[in-house]
Amino acid sequence: MSRPKAPVERDCRPCTACCDGWVRITVAGHEARPTSPCPHSTGAGCDDYPNRPLDPCVQFICGWRLGGSPLPDWMKPNEARVIVLFGRTQWNGLPVDLAVPVGLKVPPRALDWLKSFARQHGRPLLYTEQVRDAGRFTGEQTVYGFGPPAFQEQAGQWNADGVDW
């Protein structure tokens, strides 16, 4: 399966997972992080939606929101606590999907679903865990690979290299 490219079909509201810094975004100079969400996020929407910038706000479309998304309704990021980005990178000519937790870790139900999808479609999966220091999220993430052993080694190398996801 290639990266879905169909038009957006699903409505974000009331999700603000990307606005709240669980993925790395910079909005009008503000670097959103889990401890420092976009100032316009109300936690249930955007208080300046008509004026939101094109990059990243209009252009960012998570895997759940994509038209034709294979993700079930229950995997909406604010409910399943995971943001999925299809085809985030490539490995050995294969598209690699990325799952970023909305919280510390991707919850088991969502991770099991993603691993099953990865096995079924032969798509290596990267999933991350948010790093905490003294109980505070640092904005860094540890990445894990699910797929062939060589891919898992590659994921370990990306981790050692400090690649940002």
Instruction: For residue 18, state whether it binds ligand SF4 (rule: CB under 6 A).
Output: yes
Q: Are the CB atoms for 81 and 59 separated by under 8 Å? A: no
Q: Is 80 one of the binding residues for ligand SF4 (CB under 6 A)? A: no
Give least dist CB 28 to ligand SF4, A.
Answer: 7
- Please, which of residues 100-129 interact with ligand SF4 by CB under 6 A? none
Q: Is 96 in the site for ligand SF4 (CB under 6 A)?
A: no
Question: Which residues inside 58-77 make contact with ligand SF4, applying CB under 6 A?
Answer: 60-62, 64-65, 77
Spatial distance between the Cα atoms of 16 and 145, rounded to a whole number of angstroms: 26
Nearer to ligand SF4 among residue 43 and residue 156 (C-beta): 43
Write phi, then psi, for 74 (nearest 5 degrees): -70, -10
Burial of 86 (0-12, 13-18, 19+ CB in 10 A): buried
- Residue 26, CA distances (Å) to 31, 102, 146, 151 in order: 4, 17, 29, 30
Q: What's the CA gap between 94 and 34, in Å, rounded?
A: 30
Least distance in angstroms from the C-beta of 122 to ligand SF4? 25
Yes or no: say if 21 and 33 are a contact pair by the CB < 8 Å rule.
yes
| CA nearest neighbour of 144 among 132, 136, 152 | 152
The distance of closest approach from Cβ of residue 89 to ligand SF4 in the complex, given in angstroms and rounded to an integer, is 19
Residue from 66, 75, 82, 83 touching ligand SF4 (CB under 6 A): that is 83
Number of chain residues interacting with ligand SF4 (CB under 6 A): 21
Which residues lie near ligand SF4 (CB under 6 A)?
Answer: 12, 15-19, 27, 38, 40-41, 46, 48, 52, 57, 60-62, 64-65, 77, 83
